[in-house]
């Protein structure tokens, strides 16, 4: 990292917003969910059993064969058999029983019009389906609550709270996703980090790549040979008892960029279960996430990173939208509990 005392501070007033929506929809036992997929060109002409085993490797071939024998898989509405050929564009549907992890469904609407919806999400809900999450997602909840076919314009990690922008129609989706991809959206995050940075402002310019396959967790690494360019500006807001509150302005949009860059700078985020975790504790957490030593190290139930502010041009009116979300209670409480300013 390079010291840079000229990093400017962002300013602006928080816009009006709607009340929190926080009812619990986590449910209890297994639920049947109907999943569907369209056959891609590569698998055109494959046998159904081979297609399923190759395309969806989270189940082995024997399990897919058992599901086919039970009659729970269809192709274009007709029962599927192992030897059924599938063609490009065919609709394959099947039902699974799932128990999704509980999430915090609460959110706050910051902006709502026909083109753009912006909300401040909690620090325990994924933006979209993946892994163990099917319907316990922000996008599923908002589509249900608002009754509209919304699409995500960008994403936050499940444990990152704060501003998320969604598109209300296809034209807005193209414009917004393009603006994010081209770096035309100004972003500011707040993080609570370990240690007290020596500079009031600093920059991390370090390319990012996926970790190699022998890494025990899926994460990103700084790699100057394989990595894509990534740059983040940081400004220290306060230093408190061996911790610091830092504002981050990412100038690129790589996966886990702020978390990795802060680890790279020697100041990992409090509560981060991957970046900055000592190797022995990381391995222990993979065996038992609730191990006492792991929890003692983390200090918080989730990583202390919050998307506090976004500025972007409205896709239709071209007026500047400033979207701000206050620091959530868990992060604010942690900061308040640390020793006084130094």
Contacts 24+ apart (CB under 8 A), 219-227: 219/256, 219/260, 219/274, 219/275, 220/254, 220/255, 220/256, 220/257, 220/260, 221/260, 222/260, 222/264
Q: Which two tokens stand for residue 97?
A: 């029983």
* Nearby residues of 120 by Cβ (< 8 Å), 6 or more positions away: 17, 107, 108, 110, 161, 162, 163, 164, 325, 326
CA dihedral 167, 234, 207, 210 (to 10 degrees): -60
Q: Kindly list the catalytic residues.
A: 157
Cα 90 to Cα 92: distance, rounded to the nearest angstrom: 6
Instruction: Identify the CA nearest to 221 among candidates 178, 252, 264.
Output: 264
Phi, psi (rounded to 5 degrees) for 253: -125, 50
* Nearby residues of 306 by Cβ (< 8 Å), 6 or more positions away: 123, 160, 161, 162, 189, 190, 191, 325, 327, 328, 331
Degrees to nearest 5, angle at CA 47 with 43 and 49: 105
Cα 250 to Cα 188: distance, rounded to the nearest angstrom: 7
**Cβ pair 23, 144 in contact under 8 A:** no
**Cβ pair 38, 72 in contact under 8 A:** no
Report the length, in residues, of the chain. 342
Instruction: Identify the CA nearest to 331 among candidates 294, 297, 312, 306.
Output: 306
- Among the residues of the chain, which ranges form H helices? 48-55, 61-69, 138-146, 170-181, 257-264, 279-287, 292-298, 329-337
């Amino acid at each position: 990292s390079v010291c840079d005392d000229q990093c400017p501070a962002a300013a602006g007033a928080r816009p009006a917003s709607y009340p929190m929506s926080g009812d619990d929809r986590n449910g209890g036992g297994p639920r049947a969910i109907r999943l569907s997929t369209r056959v891609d060109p590569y698998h055109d002409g494959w046998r159904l059993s081979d297609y399923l085993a190759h395309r969806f490797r989270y189940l082995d071939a024997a399990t897919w064969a058992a599901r086919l024998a039970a009659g729970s898989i269809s192709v274009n509405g007709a029962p599927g058999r192992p030897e059924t050929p599938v063609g490009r564009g065919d609709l394959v549907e099947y039902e699974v029983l799932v128990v999704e992890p509980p999430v915090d469904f609460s959110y706050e609407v910051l902006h709502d019009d026909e083109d753009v919806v912006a909300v401040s999400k909690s620090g325990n809900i994924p933006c979209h389906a993946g892994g163990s999450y099917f319907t316990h997602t922000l996008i599923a909840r908002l589509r249900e609550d608002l009754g509209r076919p919304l699409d995500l314009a960008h994403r936050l990690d499940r444990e990152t709270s704060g501003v998320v922008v969604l598109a209300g129609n296809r034209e807005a989706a193209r414009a917004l996703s393009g603006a994010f991809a081209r770096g035309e959206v100004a972003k500011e995050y707040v993080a609570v980090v370990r240690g007290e940075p020596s500079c009031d402002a600093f920059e991390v310019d370090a390319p990012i790549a996926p970790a190699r396959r022998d890494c025990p967790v899926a994460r990103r690494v700084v790699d100057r040979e394989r990595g894509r360019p990534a740059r983040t500006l940081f400004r220290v807001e306060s230093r408190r008892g061996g911790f610091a509150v830092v504002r981050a302005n990412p100038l690129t949009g790589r996966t886990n960029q702020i978390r990795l860059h802060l680890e790279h700078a020697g100041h990992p985020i409090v509560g981060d279960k991957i970046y900055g975790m000592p190797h022995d504790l990381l391995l222990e957490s993979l065996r038992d996430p609730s191990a006492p030593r792991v929890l003692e190290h983390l200090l918080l139930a989730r990583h202390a990173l919050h998307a506090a502010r976004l500025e972007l041009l409205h896709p239709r009116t071209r007026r500047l939208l400033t979207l701000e979300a206050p620091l959530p209670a868990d992060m604010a409480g942690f900061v308040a509990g640390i020793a006084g300013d130094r």
